[in-house]
């Protein structure tokens, strides 16, 4: 190691002597030789100051922290003075504003253990320097989790003309911790402008006074506003100590606004409930509202979401895009079971909101959305000139159940409602992990009034175990719009009306399991639908819906595995329809409805039943003869005759098809008799326009002829 220079050795000796004799050098100092025989000693800038009074004064020397410490106001150092002095400091290391207000202060409430700072005449100065930490938890007696003891009260400056805020942040890297902020005209805290980034608000009560304190004035309009280009700010954190309680505000708990307001995160907060987590303390309109084109914001984080409950609306994405809602509890208490619903609904994507994501494919990303009005609502809501909401994605959520996924905690309206002017929304995804659990809701599980939307891999009416029957109180899925897709891999079960009610045109329903619904598995009223490769079993398992829903019987007055009610040009192909308490398929009215290559068996009623002149009254074929190799009969001329085998007169096994003669309708079909022993052969006819008949009366396959073995004597010659 190199020896210190002579000048540095002299400096060290000199400072040691000074310290021994006077004790002067005790703080943070910058010490360096400044030339031959000279030592320069400079104290580092003061970076921490303590507020010592609740008075809202500005009569100290606020040109710097050090000058304010040396020349405070007559009542001590006020928060206003500390903020003014902080802004006067040059850029550099973080500045810390702590609190050390004595209990003798006039603003101290001994019963509540709270020091109330009342703003007397104006808003506090905005935080312009950056890197300022205001930490109310430094006041003796503070408890970050449940009881901040420093309260900012704007009741005396509640001024609509000036729109005063509690704290305004227009710079970067600030931290606000451990304060309560109440009764501000605009917001408790505003984070504003493009320079306002990487700020943190943690451990605060915003809109809510500490226990034992009553509000003297009106609620704040908003709890926190993030606006006008503020970005990469964090409200909350990962621990209970960082949790904000944001409740009791007159408009929104948190408002995020502006097209350049991006990449902000709201995580780990309680929004709309009290500090106990057991009661609503609502924000009057919204828990969180994202508007003005704000995008790329995160409401919740995987494994660290918010509890957003007890508000009028939980989360409102209003005309904003590319935001994510993940990991939140919306409508239940922090115990993830007790209902504290958002009255109108849990999540709203309205006024053209697009490309937003609600949920995710992991447990950590799952939202729990239960106990509200609507679970999720997408589409026009307030607007008089609707805009189309496109490309939103709802996946991996529990909607209408508790955190276990099997206990009912229903939303009172639809689980998910896609209103008109909603397109290309995906509910679920392309794997089981993307599916939602949608059960025990007071309306339909899912309602789709928009167009070109898709539902896939969801459990609709069952718990997360895919077995617990919870139902939805109306239909599992109600499709009103055109061109929507239901499938693949939805399980729609145990709903109080039909599994699916399809009232829109050109709906594509494929590869779903539809079972144990109280009325029909599926009722189709719109034209031009395609129903392929579904399993429709054990429907009308309950005798009838309860009386409260009798008014909705006209939604589909008939019951069956699949009902076509007045519809035309619908294709039902390659489905399994069995064990339904009525018929397998009922077609009532309408024409050009084709039923082809299905497995229809063991239904209590007919396999296929035509009513009210359906399909032009096409007659079933007549089977005239069946032997071991051939079926012969007669049908409508030039019709496709589909052949089936079944224990009764339905069609369990599709065997193939023949074409009836154009001349006299005769047909023949080759069969492998040994494979069909003890079964009946039955058939349907479908004409050139796509009208399919009921099943023909079946004819048994005769047993194969007896085979006798004759043993003749062997004669040798």
The span from the CA of 264 to the CA of 225, in Å, is 11
How confident is the model at residue 627, as a pLDDT? Answer: 87
235 DSSP assignment? E
Domain ranges of the chain: 6-43, 113-507, 508-544+555-617, 618-700
Q: At a CB cut-off of 8 Å and minimum separation 6, what does 263 contact?
A: 231, 232, 296, 297, 298
Looking at residue 715, what is its pLDDT? 61
Buried b (16+ CB within 10 A) or exposed e, 594-609: bbbbbbbbbbebbbbb
Distance CA 527, CA 503 (A): 8
pLDDT > 70? residue 369: yes
Average pLDDT on 373-397 reads 96
Mean pLDDT, the chain, whole residue set: 91
Q: In this structure, what token pair is assigned to residue 275?
A: 């500090």
Degrees, nearest 5: CA angle 477-479-481: 155
- 569-588 pLDDT per residue, tens: 999 999 999 999 999 999 99
| 614 compared with 45, residue with greater pLDDT | 614
- pLDDT given at position 704: 72
Q: What is the share, in percent, of the chain residues with pLDDT greater than 70?
A: 90
Which is it for strands 29-35 and 38-43: parallel, antiparallel or unpaired? antiparallel
How do beta strands 666-670 and 630-634 pair? antiparallel
What local confidence, expressed as pLDDT, does residue 629 receive? 86
Q: Please give the average per-residue pLDDT across 175-197, as a whole number.
A: 97
Torsion sign, CA atoms 437, 438, 439, 441: positive
Instruction: Give the pLDDT confidence score for residue 555 in this predicted structure.
Output: 64
Mean pLDDT (whole number) for 321-349: 99
The residues facing 681 across adjacent strands are 645, 699
In this prediction, residue 541 has a pLDDT band, given cuts at 50, 70 and 90, of: low
Q: How far is 188 from 221, CA to CA, in rounded Å?
A: 8
**Other beta carbons within 10 Å of 471:** 25
24 has a pLDDT exceeding 60: no
* The predicted structure's pLDDT at residue 712: 67
Predicted pLDDT of residue 557 = 80
Phi-psi domain of 504 (left: phi exceeds 0; alpha: psi -120 through 50; beta: other)? beta
| pLDDT tens string 481-534 | 999 999 999 999 999 999 999 999 999 999 999 999 999 999 999 999 999 999
Task: Please give the CATH topology (third level) of the domain spanning 618-700.
Answer: Immunoglobulin-like (2.60.40)
Residue 146: band (very low, low, confident or very high) from pLDDT cuts 50, 70, 90: confident
- The pair of three-digit structure tokens given for residue 485, joined into one six-digit string: 């897709």
Beta-strand runs (E) in 386-504 = 389-390, 393-395, 398-399, 416-418, 422-423, 426-428, 437-438, 446-448, 454-456, 459-460, 477-479, 485-486, 491-493, 500-502
Task: Look at residue 675 in the predicted model and tell me its pLDDT.
Answer: 59
pLDDT at 383: 84
CA–CA gap between residue 667 and residue 624 (Å, rounded):
10
């Amino acid at each position: 190691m190199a020896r210190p220079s002579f000048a540095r050795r002299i400096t060290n000796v000199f400072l040691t002597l000074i310290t021994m004799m006077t004790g002067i050098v005790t703080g943070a100092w910058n010490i360096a030789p400044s030339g031959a025989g000279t030592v320069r000693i400079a104290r580092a800038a003061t970076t921490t100051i303590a507020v010592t009074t609740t008075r809202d004064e500005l009569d100290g020397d606020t040109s710097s922290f050090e000058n304010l410490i040396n020349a405070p106001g007559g009542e001590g150092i006020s928060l206003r003075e500390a903020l003014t002095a902080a802004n006067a400091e040059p850029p550099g290391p973080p500045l810390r504003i702590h609190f050390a207000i004595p209990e003798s202060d006039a603003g101290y409430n001994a019963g509540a253990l709270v020091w109330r700072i009342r703003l007397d005449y104006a808003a506090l100065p905005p935080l312009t320097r950056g890197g300022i930490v205001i930490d109310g938890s430094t006041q003796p007696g503070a408890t970050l989790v449940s009881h901040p003891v420093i309260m900012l009260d704007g009741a005396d400056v509640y001024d609509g003309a000036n729109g005063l805020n509690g704290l305004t942040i227009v710079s970067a890297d600030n931290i606000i911790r451990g304060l309560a902020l109440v009764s501000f005209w605009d917001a408790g805290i505003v984070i504003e402008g493009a320079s306002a980034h990487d700020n943190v608000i943690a451990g605060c009560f915003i809109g809510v006074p500490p226990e034992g304190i009553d509000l003297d004035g009106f609620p704040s309009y908003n709890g926190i506003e993030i606006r006008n280009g503020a970005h990469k700010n964090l409200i909350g954190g990962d621990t209970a100590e960082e949790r904000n309680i944001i409740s009791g505000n007159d408009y929104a708990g948190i408002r995020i606004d502006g097209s350049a307001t991006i990449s902000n995160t709201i995580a780990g907060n309680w929004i709309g409930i009290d500090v106990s987590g057991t009661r609503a303390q609502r924000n009057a309109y919204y828990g969180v509202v994202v508007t003005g084109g704000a995008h790329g914001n995160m409401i919740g984080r995987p494994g660290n979401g918010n509890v957003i409950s007890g508000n009028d609306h939980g989360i409102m994405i209003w005309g904003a895009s590319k935001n994510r809602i993940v990991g939140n509890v919306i409508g239940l208490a922090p115990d993830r079971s007790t209902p504290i619903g958002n009255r109108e609904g849990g999540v709203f994507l309205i006024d053209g909101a697009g490309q937003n994501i609600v949920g995710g494919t992991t447990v950590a990303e799952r939202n729990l959305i239960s106990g509200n009005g609507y679970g999720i609502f997408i589409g026009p809501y307030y607007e008089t000139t609707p805009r189309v909401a496109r490309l939103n994605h709802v996946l991996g959520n529990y909607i209408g159940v508790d955190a276990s996924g099997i206990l009912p905690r229903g939303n009172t309206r639809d689980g998910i409602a896609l209103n008109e002017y909603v397109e290309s929304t995906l509910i679920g995804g392309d794997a089981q992990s993307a599916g939602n659990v949608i059960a025990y809701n007071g309306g339909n599980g899912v309602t789709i009034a928009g167009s070109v939307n898709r539902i896939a891999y969801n459990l609709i009416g069952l718990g997360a175990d895919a077995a617990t029957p919870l139902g939805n109180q109306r239909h599992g899925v109600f499709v009103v719009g055109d061109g929507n897709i239901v499938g693949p891999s939805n399980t729609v079960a145990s709903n109080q009306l039909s599994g699916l009610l399809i009232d829109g045109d050109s709906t594509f329903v494929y590869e779903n399991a539809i079972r144990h619904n109280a009325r029909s598995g599926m009722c189709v009223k719109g034209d031009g639908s395609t129903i392929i490769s579904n399993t429709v079993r054990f429907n009308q398992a309950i005798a009838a819906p309860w009386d409260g829903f009798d008014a909705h019987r006209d939604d589909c007055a008939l019951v069956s595995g699949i009902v076509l009610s007045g519809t035309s040009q619908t294709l039902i192909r390659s489905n399994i329809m069995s064990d339904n308490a009525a018929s397998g398929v009922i077609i009532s009215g309408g024409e050009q409805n084709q039923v082809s290559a299905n497995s229809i068996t063991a239904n209590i009623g007919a396999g296929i039943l035509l009513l009210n002149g359906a399909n032009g009254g096409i007659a079933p074929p007549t089977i005239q003869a069946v032997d071991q190799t051939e079926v012969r009969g007669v049908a409508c001329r030039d019709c496709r005759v589909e052949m089936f085998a079944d224990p009764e007169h339905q069609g369990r096994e599709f065997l193939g098809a023949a074409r009836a003669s154009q001349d006299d309708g005769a047909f023949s079909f080759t069969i492998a008799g040994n494979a069909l022993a003890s079964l009946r052969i039955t058939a349907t006819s479908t004409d050139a326009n796509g009208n399919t008949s009921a099943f023909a009366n079946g004819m048994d396959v005769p047993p194969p002829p007896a085979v006798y073995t004759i043993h003749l004597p062997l004669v040798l010659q």
